[in-house]
Amino acid sequence: MNRYRYLLKKTGWALLTILFVLVLNFFLFRILPGDPARALTRDPRMKAEAREILRVRFGLDKPVINCFETLTPLKLGDCRVNPFETQFFIYIKNLLQGELGISYKTNRPVADILAERLWNTVLLIGAGQILSIVVGVAFGVFAAWKARTAIDYGALITGLVAWSLPTFWLGIILLFWGSTHGFPIGGKATPGSSTYPLLYQIGDVANHMILPTLTYIIVYMGEYMLVMRSSLLDVLAEDYILTAKAKGLSAFQILKDHAIKNAMLPIVTLIAINLGFTVAGAVQIEAVFSWPGLGGAIFEAVESRDYPLLQGTFLLIAVSVILANLIADLTYSYLDPRVQTE
């Protein structure tokens, strides 16, 4: 299989997965007891005319989908209705237009709320992910190189302990410590700082980011370190490393030119697999540090039973993770020549 076909196949698969998520996201909220459609009609925060507008926009008076009037309780309906006149297709159509509903709590379009928050989460996960990979991989390389020494043993135990820490608890402890050492206790910026010069604002955000990012790094670094260590140990025991040594290359040259790239392959796979889990970390960190991101949005949406926000956030997170996963797959194919010709 050449690279072009590989790329095509992976992209096609990502699109199918997104489709699956769309379907899941729609039916989940209609099968489980907390059906937002019914919740909507009962939500006292909503004005009557707003309710009517939403009813039309989301087709709430129409059947869920052909043959089914409602799903909870299950009520069969006419199968010969125009499929485009059902809630499901109206939902898809709305989605394609970027329409995600109105938040119950704030009465603002969900799409607007998410647009603000997406970048905050990308900033936090991006910084945390990059730093934890760099730190984890570096320690992993060092531990594997110095295998069976005190350094290696210490690194192994540190990694196992870090892996075992619950993210939110580590956040709480750091926050507790930070609050007595002059760190900001939450949020993304000091209130009112938007009037200050840009440089000051950047510094302020960075200051707010230190503790959340540190939490992120400690929790995820452990796993990257352990995987890099064991992956590099395997690679360094390979025959081609002996070949390189027999060629007279130095230990540094062997690590740089023969070992690290090969050992990184499982890391790339791990990053791809982990993306789903990193979201879990972000939810916890954002909840602890009141960071205004997508994870925080889930936390708030659950607390206030704000279903449109919950639904929208889940969709956005899922789609982002699928796309990031696709990028990781494509990177892998670039790093490992064997993929293209399999």
Partner 1 sequence: MAIQELELKPAVPASPLSGFWNVFRKNRLAIAGLGMLVVIVVAAVFADFIAPYDPRSYAGIGAGDIYQPPSAQHWFGTDDAGKDVFSGFIYGARNSLIVGFFAAFISIFIGGTFGIVAGFYGGRIENFLMRFTDTMLVIPDLPLIVIFVALTEPSLWNIILVIGLLGWTTTARVVRSQTLAVKSRKFVLRARAIGAGNWHIIVHHVLPLVMPILVVNAILVISLAILSESTLAFLGLSDPLAISWGQMLNFAFGRGAMSVGAWWALVAPGFGIVWVVLALTLLGNGLEQVLNPRLEAHHLMPGQPTVQKEAGEVPSRSAFVKTPVVLEVQNLSVEYVNEGMPPARAVQNVSFQLHEGEMMGLVGESGCGKTTLIMALNRLLPSAGQIVGGKVLFNGVDMATASDEELADIRWSGISIIFQGAMNALNPVRTVGDQIAEAIRKHLPIESEAALEARVTELLELVGISAEHKDHYPHQYSGGMRQRAMIAMALSCSPQVVIADEPTTALDVMIQAQILELLDELRRRLGLAVIFVTHDLGVVAEMCDTVLVMYGGVTAEYADVDTIYNQPRHPYTQELLKAFPDLSNPEKRLSSIPGYPPKLDSLPPGCRFAPRCPLAFDRCKTELPRLHELGNGHVVSCHLVETSSA
Residue 277, Cα to own-chain centre: how many angstroms? 7
* 75 three-state secondary structure: strand
Q: Which residues pair with 65 in a beta bridge?
A: 68
Give whichever of 102 and 282 is closer to partner 1, judged by the CB atom.
282
- Give the closest residue to 17 by CA, choosing from 328, 336, 319, 307: 319
Query: What would the two tokens of residue 134 be?
Result: 């760099």
CB of residue 62 to partner 1, shortest distance in Å: 22
Give whichever of 154 and 203 is closer to partner 1, judged by the CB atom.
154
DSSP 65: B
DSSP sequence for 25-36:
HHHHHHHSSS-H
Give whichever of 55 and 305 is closer to partner 1, judged by the CB atom.
305
* Amino acid found at 84: F
Q: Which residues pair with 68 in a beta bridge?
A: 65, 76
- Give the closest residue to 281 by CA, choosing from 127, 125, 159, 130: 125
Q: Yes or no: say if 128 and 216 are a contact pair by the CB < 8 Å rule.
A: yes
Give whichever of 90 and 259 is closer to partner 1, judged by the CB atom.
259
CB of residue 299 to partner 1, shortest distance in Å: 6
DSSP 237: T
Give whichever of 80 and 148 is closer to partner 1, judged by the CB atom.
148
Query: What would the two tokens of residue 65 be?
Result: 């989908």
Query: What would the two tokens of residue 278 be?
Result: 């990193």
Residue 254, Cα to own-chain centre: how many angstroms? 35
CB of residue 323 to partner 1, shortest distance in Å: 10
Residue 20: CB atoms within 10 Å? 12
* Amino acid found at 46: M
CB of residue 199 to partner 1, shortest distance in Å: 31
User: CA-CA distance, 228 to 266, in Å (whole number)?
Assistant: 8
CB of residue 219 to partner 1, shortest distance in Å: 10
User: CA-CA distance, 317 to 253, in Å (whole number)?
Assistant: 41
CB of residue 78 to partner 1, shortest distance in Å: 27
Give whichever of 189 and 249 is closer to partner 1, judged by the CB atom.
249
CB of residue 13 to partner 1, shortest distance in Å: 8
Give whichever of 23 and 134 is closer to partner 1, judged by the CB atom.
23
CB of residue 246 to partner 1, shortest distance in Å: 5
Give whichever of 32 and 79 is closer to partner 1, judged by the CB atom.
32
